[in-house]
Structure 1
Amino acid sequence: MVKKLVYQVIKYYCRFLIRFFFGKVEIIGREKIPNDQPVIYSSNHQNAFMDALIIGGLSPKTTYSVTRSDVFKKKFEWFMDAIKMIPIYRIRDGFSQLAKNQETFRKINRYLSQRNALTIFSEGNHGNDFFLRNLSKGSARIALEAQEKMDHLDLQIIPVGLNYFHHQRPLHKILIVYGKPIYVKDFLSLYMEQKAKGVNQLRETIDQGMRNCLLIPTEGPTYQVQRDFVNRYNESRSFEQLREGIVSGVGLKPLGKPNKFLNGLGKCLSIFNFGPLWLLHSILSEVKDVVFYGSMKWALAMFVFPVWFLLVLGVSSLLVDIHGGLIIVLISIIMLYLRQYLIKWSNIPH
């Protein structure tokens, strides 16, 4: 009961936070998610744990997420289970650990048979690349094995494209695209005859479906130029306009040169929220994988800033009064957003 409550609170808090963390949120194709059938979200993975929280927060279903096992530390195990994270074991975790995947697959089959949703990052790793990396066979194999065991249900794979306009900076746009459903039953007969061919064919179909959801589907010779078009100047463009303009180079504005003055001015405003921003700086200085930067900022917005604003309110109310405290908190929030917008407008490159 407690875990269920924790999950619901985190889910709807994430849904709420998405609207404030990103400058603009555009969602395409959410109506393609079926209400009465199990679903696997096959998503790209351009960020860290923030990707799973965004997909789960927006999902109309109870959504589980396949997560690498090394994040399941003993002291976090209860919480990870509460927010529907399922460990998957890889060769790098040790051959002795691979046997534990059988229990993971049993859990997945049970959850899907209850018409829930499962998020799988089919690339098998994360990276700040706008294009889709090669897919592993894991998502196709999991889907086919699950469908084989629940023939009475129609398991669907929904390709998902998470398109960040900046991977590390808040208040940039995020464009989330849900693709055309892939019906796993259509591949089941081939899988029953020749498992390898069935898995490969489904993987190729998932691959194409996911590429259709991305602004930059593949890494071509002009990738660096194409990436430069995914910027704040083009946030008002439609998905189709962006896809076409990125390829043709027509109708879109490049990022341009960084504005050091605006960037410096924005950083000067850090004084109004020095506590959490200093904490963030300290944490990021210890994080070697830059892919985690955006997710760490998400976690800060989710847990630390609310405590900070309550602390500011409490201290200000004691020194002035409750009305003065509320005004000071409001000023802190305004300065935080102004800081981030100035940094955004300074054209910090990807």
Structure 2
Amino acid sequence: MVKEKNIPINKPILFLSNHQNALIDALLIAATSGRFSYFLTRASVFKKPLVSKLLHSVNMLPVYRVRDGWSTLSKNNYIFKTCTDKLKTNQAVAIFPEGNHHINRTVRPLSKGFTRIIFETLSSYPDLDLQLVPIGLNYKEGTTFGDSVALYYGSPISAKSLVSQFSNEEIIALRQTIKNQIKGLTTHIDHAVYDKTIAKLKALNVDYLNPIAVNRCIESNFETCETAPKQTVNWMKRFFKGLLILNLLGPFIIWKYAIKPKIEEVEFIATFRFALAITLVPFWIVLHGVIIALNFGIFYLATYLVSTFIVALLSVKL
């Protein structure tokens, strides 16, 4: 589900989103924003050469933090200059200004990195009509297979309307303005009462794909809430999911016993599952397809491929 609000096509854009689900967040924005974007992400995920090449191939740029070592911070000069160069040619850059990811439904304090990009861009090109577009990512669960997600794109904000003196006061105001915008586009639960609030929302069975309604529920002290009846067990969905697992038994065993147990942060579960789905799963299906074609012919191959597609679709959509 995507809710868009007039994303400019021929203007420079800085997308500013909350960050809950590692690489999946960036992929969703890339697939739905309608703009070819460059993404800034934490440098620590670029450590392995193969991963680094993969991330650079999908327009990911590393941002270095103090925890990466003081000596690495100077590398950000090149990264931010790269962002300015992209924006001056009316391209799009996406950043997760919270500075890290977390599965919790809380908009965390924003770092100064995105304000530096804005300041450096406008100081170099004061007439540039840089647009700031806040984004709210809303997952139904966040880690489960067949999950649902809603993206809400806020109304574009002219950066020039918020910056004139390039002062520390404007940095503070920028951070607060964007944080408030993102909080309106995704469920925001205060950290101090997080567990208690989540328990109440779970009991009410709210729809996290509708963050405006959920935030209204929280702000009303749970008096004005849109609730839905708890869903019964969908046996048809379980049946087709079972068929899908049987068909993809090899990748499933590798995922369940070799990959998933080694994932230390839950925010990476969906990312690694997606990586498996676009690498090992196609190989597994092709291997089965070749065996079927050689032994039974093209008709049975076509039947197998169509059946696999239908079973996969039903296991997610039912």
Q: d(CA) in 2 for partners of 1:230 and 1:178?
A: 26
2:32 to 58, 81, 84: 58
Q: d(CA) in 1 for partners of 2:22 and 2:71?
A: 26
Q: Which residue matches 1:272?
A: 247
Q: Which residue matches 2:146?
A: 171
Q: Which residue matches 2:296?
A: 320
CA displacement at 1:177 relative to structure 2: 0.2
One-letter code aligned to 1:56: A
Which string of whole-angstrom CA distances, capped at 9 and with x for unpartnered residues, describes residues 73-113 of structure 1? 33344443332111111111111111111111111110111
Q: Which residue matches 2:274?
A: 298
1:82 matched to 2:57? The reply is yes
Change (3 A) 1:248 1:322: farther
CA displacement at 1:290 relative to structure 2: 1.0
State the Cα RMSD in Å.
2.8
TM alignment of 1:6-155, pairs within 5 A: 26-31=1-6, 33-72=7-46, 73-155=48-130
One-letter code aligned to 1:212: G
SS at 1:105 equivalent:
helix
Q: Which residue matches 1:157?
A: 132
CA displacement at 1:259 relative to structure 2: 5.6
CA displacement at 1:197 relative to structure 2: 1.1
One-letter code aligned to 2:13: V
Point out where structure 1 has 5 or more consecutive residues left out of the alignment. Answer: 1-25, 343-350
Which string of whole-angstrom CA distances, capped at 9 and with x for unpartnered residues, describes residues 44-79 of structure 1? 111011111111122322200001112223334444
Q: d(CA) in 2 for partners of 1:91 and 1:230?
A: 41
2:285 to 309, 318, 342: 309
Change (3 A) 1:298 1:266: same
TM-score by length of 2: 0.86
One-letter code aligned to 2:185: C
One-letter code aligned to 2:15: Y
CA displacement at 1:29 relative to structure 2: 2.1
1:208 to 161, 167, 180: 180
One-letter code aligned to 2:171: V
TM-score by length of 1: 0.79
Q: 1:157, 1:184 within 8 Å by CA — same for their partners in 2?
A: yes
Change (3 A) 1:230 1:160: farther
Q: 1:182, 1:206 within 8 Å by CA — same for their partners in 2?
A: no
Q: d(CA) in 2 for partners of 1:84 and 1:49?
A: 12
Point out where structure 2 has 5 or more consecutive residues left out of the alignment. Answer: none
CA displacement at 1:239 relative to structure 2: 5.6
Q: d(CA) in 2 for partners of 1:164 and 1:230?
A: 17
Q: 1:229, 1:254 within 8 Å by CA — same for their partners in 2?
A: no
Q: d(CA) in 1 for partners of 2:84 and 2:203?
A: 41
Change (3 A) 1:87 1:229: farther
1:223 matched to 2:213? The reply is no
Q: 1:48, 1:291 within 8 Å by CA — same for their partners in 2?
A: yes
Q: 2:163, 2:170 within 8 Å by CA — same for their partners in 1?
A: yes
Higher mean C-alpha displacement, 204-213 vs 331-340:
331-340
CA displacement at 1:202 relative to structure 2: 0.5
